[in-house]
Amino acid sequence: MIYLDNASTTQMSTKALEVYKKYAIDDFYNPSAVYDKAVKINNDIHSAKEKVKSVLGAPYGEVIFTSTATEANNLAIFGCLKSNFKKVVLSSAEHASVYNVGKKLEERGINVEYCPLQQNGEIDYNELENILDENTNLISIIHVSNETGAINNLKKINEIRNRKCKNAIFHADGVQAFSKVNVNLSYFGVDMYTISSHKIFGPKGIACLYVNKGINLKPQIFGGGQEDNIRSGTENVPAIMAFMSAIDEIGDINKNYEYVNKLRNAFISNLKDTAVKINESKNNSPYILSLCFPGVNGETLVHMMEQNQIYISTGSACSSHRSGNRVLSAMSLPDNLVKGCVRISFSKHNTIDEVTFASKTLKDCYLKLVNTLR
């Protein structure tokens, strides 16, 4: 089996599983209890939050653990929403957990504007400058596209914000960026940032939102007041600590980046002599490769690859049951190309032999399908 859908989810590492079991079976205590064993668990959670802030390069804010990145993104936007908000700015590349929140805000009568994309998948920075103004209260723009791997320049976005609407809050969905590209929120100037465990070989069911000092969020879940009264509910301690174990296993981000870039280049090189279109920018994460094969259906290619025990996708798993691809269409790709798109997403654990075999198989599947349809 060759797994190349790592942007969808990853297999939990053995070490993370061991940590999960330790806190589920041995150190199972409720961190809100007052006896010593429970207090220790509460301290472990506090240490976990400090670790997250350290790896994000953001020592002064707070970390709120949530069940998923979807919840964290919803908390970021709905949590800072105020009755006097006039305008929210998102991008056309947002994950569904941000894009669909924007649609809900529109239903509430809030002016939501969507920054268009360049053909390479990045946001159009000139258009962003035109859209932002003194009425803008919140900006939420994805760091790395979950569809194409295009990397948006958060520092540049912050510079535009400071010129046009310096008091606006700036949130970024960092799910596909964290552990794969260098992240320094203090340098970027980001106020809130979302990361997720199951994208980095940790367990599903745990994510977190970093919130900068001075940003006051309103809770969206009410109860016992856990997570600094922002997100009530007994903390998922085994998942939190396994998440931290996965962070410890990230390793050298730059070294991993170079290795995965070699995998990506090898994959592309084996698709020569086909009509494939590669959706990329000069500033692209090598972990995600978006390919469009004209004249065929991408989902058919996915199932043909599955028959060879090679697992890829047509795009975001959260949008797999919908026709078309909103992000690719926003890049001005014609419908016939969008229909034939597949997404390959690598990890540091993939090998060159796997990538070579998978890319050659994909080429064979495509040529076979084209010949069948003639």
Share of the chain above pLDDT 70, in %: 98
Do you know the residue count of the chain?
A: 374
Mean pLDDT for 19-48 is 97
For residue 198, the model assigns a pLDDT of 98
For residue 188, the model assigns a pLDDT of 98
What is the torsion angle, in degrees rounded to the nearest 10, for the CA atoms of residue 100, residue 180, residue 198 and residue 227?
Answer: -70
Residue 219 has pLDDT above 90, yes or no: yes
Residue 319 has pLDDT above 70, yes or no: no
Q: Do residues 133 and 87 make contact, with C-beta atoms less than 8 angstroms apart?
A: yes
Q: Strand 277-279: give its sheet, edge to edge.
A: 277-279, 288-292, 341-345
Domains of the chain: 2-9+252-373 (3.90.1150.10), 14-248 (3.40.640.10)
| Predicted confidence (pLDDT) per residue in 144-164, tens digit | 999 999 999 999 999 999 999
* Contact partners, residue 134, CB within 8 Å, separation at least 6: 164, 165
Could you tell me the pLDDT band of residue 316, with boundaries at 50, 70 and 90?
Answer: low
Which residue, 139, 208, 148, is CA-closest to 176?
Answer: 148
Q: What is the DSSP track for 142-185?
A: -SB-TTT-BBP-HHHHHHHHHHH-TTSEEEEE-TTTTTTS---H
Give me the catalytic one of 80, 115, 318, 365: 318
292 in active site:
no
For residue 317, the model assigns a pLDDT of 56
Which residue, 128, 203, 207, 204, is CA-closest to 170?
Answer: 128
pTM, rounded to two decimals: 0.96
